[in-house]
């Protein structure tokens, strides 16, 4: 499992749920509701995994994904979305996301997505 994780999502309930899930896995979790703050954090810290919401007020998930990949190329980025479509999932993967997870997700689903993405990155 990852040692450090950044979660960017405008929904506090998602942030707190993911914080609990991954803290129980021994991961040091940093959360923010602001994509701008998330981008600042990746410039100043290293994260093994970044979970990023697709749709946040004033921000497009693909633009944030591109910036995350540029500023933190060694991080595994996983997009999460409450508005899942096959087209969005395909676009996210083509643009560098290692996984795309639709909301709502169970603790087992999100943990498995992170573990699988880390395995794919290691290959």
For the chain, which domains are there?
A: 4-122 (3.40.50.2300)
Q: What mean pLDDT is reported for the chain?
A: 94
| Residue closest to 55 by CA, chosen among 79, 36, 37 | 79
Q: Note the pLDDT of residue 70.
A: 96
Q: What pTM was estimated for this model as a whole?
A: 0.94
Using the predicted structure, report yes or no on whether residue 2 has a pLDDT greater than 90. Answer: no
pLDDT interval class at 123 (50, 70, 90): low
Instruction: Find the mean pLDDT for residues 98-105.
Output: 95
Using the predicted structure, report yes or no on whether residue 35 has a pLDDT greater than 80. Answer: yes
Using the predicted structure, report yes or no on whether residue 1 has a pLDDT greater than 90. Answer: no
Q: Note the pLDDT of residue 14.
A: 97
- Residue 15, beta-bridge partner list: none
pLDDT tens for each residue of 43-92: 999 999 999 999 999 898 889 999 999 999 999 999 999 987 888 889 99
Q: Which own/partner pairs from 65-69 qualify as long-range (CB within 8 Å, at least 24 positions apart)?
A: 65/92, 65/95, 65/96, 65/97, 66/95, 66/96, 67/39, 68/38, 68/39, 68/42, 69/95, 69/96
Q: Note the pLDDT of residue 60.
A: 86
């Amino acid at each position: 499992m990852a040692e450090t994780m950044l979660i960017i999502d405008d929904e506090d309930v998602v942030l707190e749920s993911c914080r609990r899930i991954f803290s129980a896995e021994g991961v040091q979790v940093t959360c923010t509701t602001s994509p701008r703050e998330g981008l600042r954090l990746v410039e100043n810290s290293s994260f093994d995994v970044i979970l990023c919401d697709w749709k946040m007020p004033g921000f497009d998930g693909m633009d944030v994904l591109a910036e995350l990949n540029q500023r933190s190329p060694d991080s595994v980025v996983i997009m999460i979305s409450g508005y899942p479509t096959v087209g969005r999932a395909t676009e996210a993967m083509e643009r560098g996301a290692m996984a795309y997870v639709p909301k709502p997700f169970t603790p087992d689903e999100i943990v498995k997505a992170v573990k699988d993405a880390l395995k794919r990155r290691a290959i």
